[in-house]
Amino acid sequence: MEIFLQQIINGLVQGSVYALVALGYTMVYGILGLINFAHGEVVMVGAMLALSALTAMLGWGAPPLLALPISLILAMLGCMVLGYGIERIAYRPLRHAPRLAPLITAIGVSIVLQNLAMMIWGRQYHAFPQLVANQPHLIGGAIINDIQIIIFILALAIMAGLIVVVHRTRLGRAMRAVAENQHAAQLMGVDINRVISITFMLGSALAAIAGVMVSANYGLAHYYMGFLLGLKAFTAAVLGGIGNLRGAMLGGLLLGLIESLGAGYIGDMTGGFLGSHYQDVFAFFVLIAVLVFRPSGLLGERIAERA
C-alpha cells in the first residue's frame, strides 16, 4: 500500500510537469493545427539557461532564494525569444506549404538546438543546485518532499492562470478566434501573426518552468533531457485531446500516473519478464493506443469530422 501511494505521488508530480509541457504542444496545435516538434528542446534550453544563470549568481554570492526566481525568469525570457524564433524560422514561412514541410523544419530546429546545447553545455550531466531545504514528509508511509509539493502546487496554479488568460482576456479571445477560423479572425481585425507568436512564446515560457521543475526534482540537467520529455508531453496532450487545454492537464497527470504505476508494477504483471527499465515504453504504447482507439483524446472534439 505504501508503494502504491508512493507511486501515486511520484506520478502526480511528474504528471504535472508533463501537463505544463503538454500545454505548449496543445496551444500551438490548437492554433496552427501543427505539432511543434522543437518544443521538447525548449524545455531543455529552459533548464540549461536557468542552470547557468543560477550557477553564475550563486558564484557572485547572491542569496539562493533570490537567485532561483531570477534565473527562472531569465530562463522564461530566453525561451520566449526562442519560441518566437522557432515560429519565425520554421513555421511562418511555411504556413501555406504542404504539411510535411513545417514538420521537417521543426525537426531540423530541434536537432540544431540539441547539438548547440551539447556544444555549449557539454555532454555531461549537470548537477542542479538544491536551493530549497528539501524536507521530506511522510504521508501514510509514502514520502513527499518540499520540492515535489512546490512543483505540484505551482503547476496547478499556472494551469489555472492559463485557463483564466485564455477564457477571460482579450488576448485569449483572439487566440480562440484564430484557432477557430484564421481567415475570419483576420477579417475581424485580429493580428494573426501576433497571436501566433504570442502563443509560441507563452508555450515556451511554460516549457522553461517545466524544465526548471524537472531539473530541480531530479537534481540533474542534460542536453538530451528534452527529447523524451517532449515526446511524453506530446503523448499527454494527445491523451487529453490535442488542442484542448484542460485535456492537456488531465492527460499530463494521467500519463504521469500510468507511467509511475506501470513502472512500479510491470515486473509483477509480467512475472519478472519486463523490468522497470521499460518505463519509457509505456508512454509510446499509451500514445499508440489512444491514437488508434480514440484519436480525439479523452476531452477532445472529433477531429475527423472537421474535414
Q: Which of 58, 62, 73, 118 contacts another protein by CB under 8 A? A: 118
Q: Which of 111, 139, 157, 184 contacts another protein by CB under 8 A? A: 111
The burial class, CB within 10 Å (0-12 / 13-18 / 19+), for 276 is: exposed
Q: What's at 119, amino acid-wise? A: M
Nearer to another protein, 152 or 223 (CB): 223
Residue 184 makes contact with another protein by CB under 8 A: no
Residue 187 makes contact with another protein by CB under 8 A: no
User: Which candidate, 90, 55, 87, places its Cα nearest to that of 70?
Assistant: 55
Nearer to another protein, 71 or 110 (CB): 110
HEC assignment per residue over the chain: CHHHHHHHHHHHHHHHHHHHHHHHHHHHHHHHCCCCCCHHHHHHHHHHHHHHHHHHHHHCCCCHHHHHHHHHHHHHHHHHHHHHHHHHHHHHHHCCCCCHHHHHHHHHHHHHHHHHHHHHHCCCCEECCCCCCCCEEEECCEEEEHHHHHHHHHHHHHHHHHHHHHHHCHHHHHHHHHHHCHHHHHHCCCCHHHHHHHHHHHHHHHHHHHHHHHHHHHCEECCCHHHHHHHHHHHHHHHHCCCCHHHHHHHHHHHHHHHHHHHHHHHHHCCCCCCHHHHHHHHHHHHHHHHHHCCCCCCCCCHHHHC
Q: Which of 3, 97, 157, 164 contacts another protein by CB under 8 A? A: 97
Residue 231 makes contact with another protein by CB under 8 A: yes
Q: Which of 5, 8, 62, 89 contacts another protein by CB under 8 A? A: 89
Nearer to another protein, 161 or 284 (CB): 284
Q: Which of 108, 129, 172, 219 contacts another protein by CB under 8 A? A: 108
Select from 48-56, 130-138, 165-173, 285-293 the region that touches another protein (CB under 8 A). 285-293
Site for another protein in 139-158 (CB under 8 A): none
Residue 272 C-beta: closest distance to another protein, Å: 6
Q: Which of 58, 73, 77, 103 contacts another protein by CB under 8 A? A: 103
Residue 94 makes contact with another protein by CB under 8 A: yes
d(CA 297, CA 243): 10
Select from 60-68, 141-149, 230-238, 246-254 the region that touches another protein (CB under 8 A). 230-238
Residue 62 makes contact with another protein by CB under 8 A: no
d(CA 218, CA 156): 20
User: With CB under 8 A, what is the number of residues at the site for another protein?
Assistant: 52
Residue 104 C-beta: closest distance to another protein, Å: 5
Residue 99 makes contact with another protein by CB under 8 A: yes
Residue 11 C-beta: closest distance to another protein, Å: 20
Select from 150-158, 178-186, 188-196, 266-274 the region that touches another protein (CB under 8 A). 266-274
CA 295 vs CA 26, 102, 191, 241, 270: distances in Å? 14, 22, 31, 8, 28
Nearer to another protein, 64 or 85 (CB): 85
Q: Which of 115, 130, 169, 181 contacts another protein by CB under 8 A? A: 115
Please answer whether residues 2 and 140 qualify as being in contact, where contact means their C-beta atoms are separated by less than 8 angstroms. yes
Site residues for another protein per CB under 8 A? 34-35, 37, 89-90, 93-94, 97-105, 107-116, 118-119, 227, 231, 234, 238, 272-275, 277-278, 280-281, 283-285, 287-288, 291-292, 295, 301, 303, 305, 307
